[in-house]
Amino acid sequence: MKRNIVMGIAVALGVLSTGVVGASAATTASCCNEGACFDKPSAQQYKQETAPLSDAVRIKEMELSQLFGYDSTIIEVRQLEAEIKDLKDRIGAVAKKYDIQDCCRG
Protein backbone atom coordinates (compact mmCIF):
# COMPACT_ATOMS: atom_id res chain seq x y z
CA MET A 1 0.00 0.00 0.00
CA LYS A 2 2.73 2.43 1.03
CA ARG A 3 4.72 1.61 -2.11
CA ASN A 4 1.66 2.28 -4.29
CA ILE A 5 1.24 5.72 -2.72
CA VAL A 6 4.90 6.55 -3.31
CA MET A 7 4.69 5.38 -6.91
CA GLY A 8 1.53 7.44 -7.40
CA ILE A 9 3.32 10.52 -6.12
CA ALA A 10 6.27 9.82 -8.43
CA VAL A 11 3.99 9.55 -11.45
CA ALA A 12 2.15 12.74 -10.48
CA LEU A 13 5.42 14.64 -10.12
CA GLY A 14 6.57 13.33 -13.48
CA VAL A 15 3.40 14.54 -15.16
CA LEU A 16 3.66 17.93 -13.48
CA SER A 17 7.30 18.38 -14.43
CA THR A 18 6.50 17.55 -18.05
CA GLY A 19 3.88 20.30 -18.09
CA VAL A 20 6.29 22.78 -16.54
CA VAL A 21 8.99 21.94 -19.08
CA GLY A 22 6.53 22.47 -21.93
CA ALA A 23 5.39 25.81 -20.55
CA SER A 24 8.97 26.82 -19.93
CA ALA A 25 9.94 25.97 -23.50
CA ALA A 26 7.11 28.11 -24.84
CA THR A 27 8.19 31.04 -22.68
CA THR A 28 11.86 30.58 -23.55
CA ALA A 29 11.15 31.05 -27.23
CA SER A 30 9.65 34.45 -26.53
CA CYS A 31 12.59 36.13 -24.79
CA CYS A 32 15.73 34.01 -24.63
CA ASN A 33 16.00 33.08 -28.29
CA GLU A 34 15.83 36.74 -29.22
CA GLY A 35 19.13 37.37 -27.43
CA ALA A 36 17.57 39.33 -24.57
CA CYS A 37 19.25 37.11 -22.00
CA PHE A 38 22.74 36.91 -23.34
CA ASP A 39 23.18 40.55 -24.32
CA LYS A 40 23.46 41.52 -20.68
CA PRO A 41 26.94 41.51 -19.16
CA SER A 42 25.37 40.43 -15.89
CA ALA A 43 24.21 37.16 -17.49
CA GLN A 44 27.72 35.72 -17.32
CA GLN A 45 28.04 36.74 -13.67
CA TYR A 46 24.67 35.12 -12.97
CA LYS A 47 25.76 31.86 -14.60
CA GLN A 48 29.03 31.76 -12.69
CA GLU A 49 27.38 32.51 -9.37
CA THR A 50 24.54 30.01 -9.79
CA ALA A 51 26.46 27.13 -11.39
CA PRO A 52 27.20 25.39 -8.07
CA LEU A 53 23.60 25.91 -6.93
CA SER A 54 22.24 24.49 -10.19
CA ASP A 55 24.51 21.47 -9.87
CA ALA A 56 23.29 20.94 -6.30
CA VAL A 57 19.65 21.12 -7.48
CA ARG A 58 20.30 18.47 -10.14
CA ILE A 59 21.98 16.19 -7.60
CA LYS A 60 19.13 16.61 -5.09
CA GLU A 61 16.54 15.93 -7.81
CA MET A 62 18.36 12.70 -8.72
CA GLU A 63 18.40 11.71 -5.04
CA LEU A 64 14.68 12.46 -4.86
CA SER A 65 13.91 10.25 -7.84
CA GLN A 66 15.93 7.46 -6.21
CA LEU A 67 13.92 7.84 -3.01
CA PHE A 68 10.74 7.20 -4.97
CA GLY A 69 12.18 3.89 -6.12
CA TYR A 70 12.94 2.70 -2.60
CA ASP A 71 10.90 2.18 0.51
CA SER A 72 11.52 5.68 1.82
CA THR A 73 9.45 7.67 4.25
CA ILE A 74 7.45 10.74 3.36
CA ILE A 75 9.61 12.67 5.84
CA GLU A 76 12.73 11.92 3.78
CA VAL A 77 10.97 12.99 0.59
CA ARG A 78 9.67 16.23 2.10
CA GLN A 79 13.07 17.08 3.56
CA LEU A 80 14.73 16.65 0.17
CA GLU A 81 11.98 18.66 -1.54
CA ALA A 82 12.53 21.46 1.00
CA GLU A 83 16.27 21.45 0.26
CA ILE A 84 15.57 21.68 -3.49
CA LYS A 85 13.15 24.57 -2.92
CA ASP A 86 15.74 26.40 -0.82
CA LEU A 87 18.37 26.02 -3.56
CA LYS A 88 15.93 27.24 -6.22
CA ASP A 89 15.00 30.21 -4.02
CA ARG A 90 18.69 31.08 -3.72
CA ILE A 91 19.04 30.89 -7.51
CA GLY A 92 16.00 33.16 -7.80
CA ALA A 93 17.59 35.69 -5.43
CA VAL A 94 20.73 35.79 -7.58
CA ALA A 95 18.58 36.21 -10.69
CA LYS A 96 16.81 39.14 -9.08
CA LYS A 97 20.15 40.64 -8.07
CA TYR A 98 21.34 40.59 -11.70
CA ASP A 99 17.89 41.42 -13.14
CA ILE A 100 17.66 38.11 -15.03
CA GLN A 101 14.19 37.29 -16.39
CA ASP A 102 12.55 34.00 -15.40
CA CYS A 103 12.72 32.71 -18.97
CA CYS A 104 16.47 33.26 -19.05
CA ARG A 105 17.33 31.06 -16.11
CA GLY A 106 19.28 27.97 -17.07
Higher pLDDT, 23 or 57: 57
Number of other residues whose CB lies within 10 A of the CB of residue 79: 13
Per-residue confidence (pLDDT) for residue 15, from 0 to 100:
54
What is the structure's pLDDT at 78?
A: 93
d(CA 7, CA 84): 20
More confident residue, 76 or 17: 76
Packing angle of the helix pair 42-69, 74-97 (nearest 10 deg): 170
